[in-house]
Amino acid sequence: MIEFNFILNFLDLVFLQGDLFGIRGEGPLGSADPLVKGMLPSVFAVIGFSIMLNLFNAGVRKKLVDSVKMKRIMKETRAYQKARMAAFKAKDQPKIDELGKKSTYMNKMSMEMMQMNMKPMMITIIPLLLIFYFLMPSLFSYTVAVSPIPLNVIPVDFFELTCTAEKMAKDAAAGLGPFCNTENEIYLWAWYFLTAIAFSGTIMKLTKTSMNE
């Protein structure tokens, strides 16, 4: 099962790509004249933010979520789904009917699990937005690292992790930027997203907030 922290980081991405306060303009997250100069300091500073915010998320989650109850619900839900799939595969109608009687209860458990997961998000999203919209754009440039290969595996503009020649030419033609110096530079928001995902599993294990144990 996918860790909820991955989903949370993906939702962070949606907020990072948007401009909720109308202060970013038409460019990506970042500054043309950042306080932190140079890619190497920026790389490690953003990693520091990733670790700090992951620890904050884990701390809030540990405080608000009953991990014992959550693991019990997840175990029960997985067992139910496995039994249901096996019954459908075997075309065992009596078993399907028997499991169908539990569907209302299982839907209630799934809803309760979702509510338990949403509680920490409602708290962590506020400092997250403050940091990303008011602190990080003044600290860092639009791009903070360079990838040896393109990372834009999803063919939509919304999910461009690295600069492309086409995007650079398009911005130049529109009189925007420059936001990138070379191809395959990694955007600030993308580097945060990648490092947050990379460290989240380890931090959740260390803080005992992982639900997959």
d(CA 49, CA 54): 8
d(CA 138, CA 34): 5
From 63, 77, 56, 69, select the one nearest 12 (Cα to Cα): 56
pLDDT of residue 184: 93
pLDDT of residue 147: 94
> Structure tokens of 80?
């139910």
d(CA 201, CA 213): 11
Segments making up each domain of the chain, as ranges: 4-10+37-204
pLDDT of residue 128: 81
pLDDT of residue 19: 52
pTM of the model: 0.78
pLDDT digit of tens for each residue in the chain (213 aa)?
444 555 555 555 555 555 555 555 567 888 888 999 999 999 999 999 999 988 998 899 888 888 888 889 888 988 999 999 999 999 888 888 888 888 899 999 988 988 888 888 888 888 887 888 788 888 999 999 999 999 888 776 667 889 999 989 988 888 888 899 899 999 998 899 889 888 988 888 888 887 665
**39-64 and 4-17 helices cross at what angle (nearest 10)?**
130
Q: What is the pLDDT of residues 94-111, one digit of tens each?
A: 888 888 888 899 999 988
CA dihedral 180, 149, 10, 104 (to 10 degrees): 150
Distance separating the N- and C-terminal Cα atoms of the chain: 11
pLDDT of residue 1: 41
